[in-house]
């Protein structure tokens, strides 16, 4: 009797090849397409998910597997999109892709896999799972430039025992070549960009649908007004300012200081503090971890780690410690970096293994 697997198929080349590889290995493969968002239209005014589903159906037909379709839009709107708006209103920058994986994609598909008596859930993530002495560990992909462990750091060890990532040992070019060899229509399809299931959008306009514009001042590091903004919620720490980005600011020493960035913002006073590149205000070295999640229990709460604060961002040598007084985990980076914003995720590694991580906080 063949081992049955449920493969999440998005219409993209990665999940398509994941399904193919499982079929080639002799598994009984059942595909599943998730409808999570119908608000994004393609150039013909058609809901984008319909176009993606057509591709998934075509792939399923080519490799001779059934394709189920499930509708998780209600859950996605409530647990991911509405939560995203709430966080932006608080002045923090969330990562909806991580929320989607934690609250929608993996728990609901694992539940479906159990319902149809599938032994494993398969996805096209660039990540790997290693089993050592009956313990399951999440590891970075072989192809570091495509690694997606950052987005799935909130998986549990129990979930990992029921998941397979078949493309974790491949490069993107290898995946495309496999798809081309099997005449997949999506072999050269562009990689997904933007918010998970929503796609590439103008984030500011998207936020303006739910968050009312509240203009305020832009100050320089010395407290001098240098411009106006239309709402602190629409801008994130580290974001560049200037006419290309919606408004202009009066920069001192124009020739010497061409690039200015958001350094601080205050939702109560509606003030954004901007600073020129390389200004100390733009750099941070210490991070407090809010809502920590560890995939496997930590044997030691004071260890050397590598930190990543954005997907495929630099792996920064760091020190993780537990503050007994505040009862909070803290990370001190070996050197200060720019672009760290509250609400983003910090994901920690030892070697190739992903330990887990949490939400970036400053206090």
Q: Are residues 56 and 174 in the same domain?
A: yes
161 in a structural domain: no
Query: Structure tokens of 171?
Result: 């490069």
Q: Are residues 98 and 177 in the same domain?
A: yes
193 in a structural domain: no
141 in a structural domain: no
Whole-angstrom distance, CA of residue 218 vs CA of residue 234: 13
- Residue pLDDT tens, the chain, 363 long: 789 999 999 989 999 999 999 999 999 999 999 988 776 554 444 557 788 899 999 999 999 999 999 999 899 889 988 888 888 888 888 888 999 999 999 999 999 999 999 999 999 999 999 999 999 999 999 999 999 999 999 999 999 999 999 999 999 999 999 999 999 999 887 766 555 555 555 667 777 777 787 889 999 999 999 988 888 888 888 888 876 655 667 766 554 557 899 999 998 999 999 999 999 999 999 999 999 999 999 989 999 999 999 887 889 999 999 999 999 999 999 999 998 999 999 999 999 999 999 999 998
Each residue of 142-198: pLDDT tens digit?
999 999 999 999 999 999 999 999 999 999 999 999 999 999 999 887 766 555 555
Query: Structure tokens of 160?
Result: 């990992």
* The predicted structure's pLDDT at residue 92: 84
Q: Are residues 95 and 36 in the same domain?
A: yes
45 in a structural domain: yes
Query: Structure tokens of 307?
Result: 């930190």
Query: Structure tokens of 166?
Result: 């078949």
* The predicted structure's pLDDT at residue 286: 97
278, 300, 331 — which closes off a domain? 278
Nearest to 128 by CA among 167, 163, 95, 168: 168
Query: Structure tokens of 13?
Result: 């080349």
Q: Are residues 226 and 293 in the same domain?
A: no
Distances from the Cα of 173 to the Cα of 8, 17, 231, angstroms: 21, 12, 42
- Out of 47, 100, 139, 354, the active site residue is 100
The CATH number of residue 349's host domain is: 2.40.30.10
Q: Are residues 170 and 40 in the same domain?
A: yes
Whole-angstrom distance, CA of residue 173 vs CA of residue 82: 36
Residue pair 295/356 in contact (Cβ under 8 Å)? The answer is yes
Q: Are residues 13 and 112 in the same domain?
A: yes
Whole-angstrom distance, CA of residue 274 vs CA of residue 264: 7
Look up the pTM and report it: 0.89
The CATH number of residue 111's host domain is: 3.40.50.620
* The predicted structure's pLDDT at residue 193: 53
- Out of 47, 139, 196, 354, the active site residue is 196
Distances from the Cα of 241 to the Cα of 46, 228, 236, 254, 273, angstroms: 34, 11, 11, 14, 11
The CATH number of residue 229's host domain is: 2.30.30.280
* The predicted structure's pLDDT at residue 310: 86
* The predicted structure's pLDDT at residue 43: 46
Residue pair 309/344 in contact (Cβ under 8 Å)? The answer is yes
Q: Are residues 233 and 352 in the same domain?
A: no
Task: List the domain range (segments joined by +) for residue 231.
Answer: 212-278
93 in a structural domain: yes
Q: Are residues 25 and 85 in the same domain?
A: yes
Residue 196 falls in the annotated catalytic set? yes
Q: Are residues 302 and 249 in the same domain?
A: no
Whole-angstrom distance, CA of residue 17 vs CA of residue 73: 25
Q: Are residues 235 and 302 in the same domain?
A: no
278, 299, 328 — which closes off a domain? 278
The 3-state secondary structure of the chain, one letter per residue: CCCEEEEECCCCHHHHHHHHHHHHCCCEEEEEEEECCCCCECCCCCEHHHHHHHHHHHHHHHCCCCEEEEECHHHHHHHHHHHHHHHHHCCCCCCHHHHHHHHHHHHHHHHHHHHCCCCEEECCCCEEEEEECCEEEEEECCCHHHCCHHHHCCCCHHHHCCEECCCCCCCHHHHHHHHHHCCCCCCCCCCCCCECCCECCCHHHHHHCCCCCCCEEEECCCCCEEEEECCHHHCCCCCEEEHHHCECCCCCCCCCCCCEEEEEEECCCCEEEEEECCCHHHEEEEEEEEEEEECCCCCCCCEEEEEECCCCCCCEEEEEEEECCCCEEEEEEEEEEECCCCCCEEEEEECCEEEEEEEEECC
Residue 139 falls in the annotated catalytic set? no
* The predicted structure's pLDDT at residue 44: 42
Radius of gyration (C-alpha) of the chain in whole angstroms = 22
79 in a structural domain: yes
Each residue of 251-278: pLDDT tens digit?
665 545 578 999 999 989 999 999 999 9
Total domain count for the chain? Answer: 3
226, 245, 278 — which closes off a domain? 278
Q: Are residues 173 and 33 in the same domain?
A: yes
Between helices 13-24 and 48-62, what is the axis angle to 10°? 20
Q: Are residues 101 and 32 in the same domain?
A: yes
Whole-angstrom distance, CA of residue 167 vs CA of residue 24: 13
32 in a structural domain: yes
């Amino acid at each position: 009797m063949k081992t049955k697997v449920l493969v999440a198929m998005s219409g993209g080349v990665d999940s398509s090849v994941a399904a193919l590889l499982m079929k080639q290995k002799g598994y009984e493969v059942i595909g599943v397409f998730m409808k999570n968002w119908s608000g994004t239209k393609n150039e013909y005014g058609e809901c984008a998910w319909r176009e993606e589903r057509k591709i998934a159906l075509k792939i399923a037909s080519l490799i001779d597997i059934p394709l189920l379709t499930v509708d998780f839009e209600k859950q996605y709107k409530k647990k991911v999109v509405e939560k995203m708006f709430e966080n932006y209103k608080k002045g923090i920058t969330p990562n909806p892709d991580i929320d989607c994986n934690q609250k929608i994609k993996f728990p609901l598909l694992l539940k479906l896999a159990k319902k149809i008596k599938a032994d494993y859930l398969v996805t096209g993530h660039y990540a790997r799972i290693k089993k050592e002495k009956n313990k399951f560990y999440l590891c970075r992909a072989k192809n570091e430039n495509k690694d997606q462990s950052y987005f799935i750091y909130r998986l549990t060890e129990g979930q990992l025992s029921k998941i397979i990532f078949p493309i974790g040992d491949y490069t993107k070019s290898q995946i495309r070549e496999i798809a081309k060899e099997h005449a997949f229509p999506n072999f050269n399809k562009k990689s997904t960009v933007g918010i998970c299931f929503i796609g590439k959008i103008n984030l500011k306009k998207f936020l303006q649908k739910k968050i009312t514009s509240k203009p305020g001042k832009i100050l320089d590091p010395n407290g001098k007004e240098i411009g106006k903004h239309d709402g602190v919620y629409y801008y994130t720490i580290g974001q560049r300012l200037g006419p290309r980005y919606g408004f202009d600011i009066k920069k001192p020493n124009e020739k010497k200081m061409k690039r200015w960035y958001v350094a601080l913002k205050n939702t109560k006073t509606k003030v954004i503090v901007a600073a020129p590149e390389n200004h100390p205000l733009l750099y941070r070295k210490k991070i407090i971890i809010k809502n920590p999640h560890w995939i496997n229990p930590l044997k030691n709460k004071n260890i050397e780690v590598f930190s990543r604060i954005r997907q495929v961002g630099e792996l920064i040598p760091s020190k993780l410690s537990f503050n007994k007084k505040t009862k909070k985990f803290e990370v001190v980076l070996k050197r200060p970096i720019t672009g760290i914003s509250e609400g983003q995720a910090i994901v920690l590694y030892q070697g190739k293994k992903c330990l887990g991580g949490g939400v970036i906080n400053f206090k």
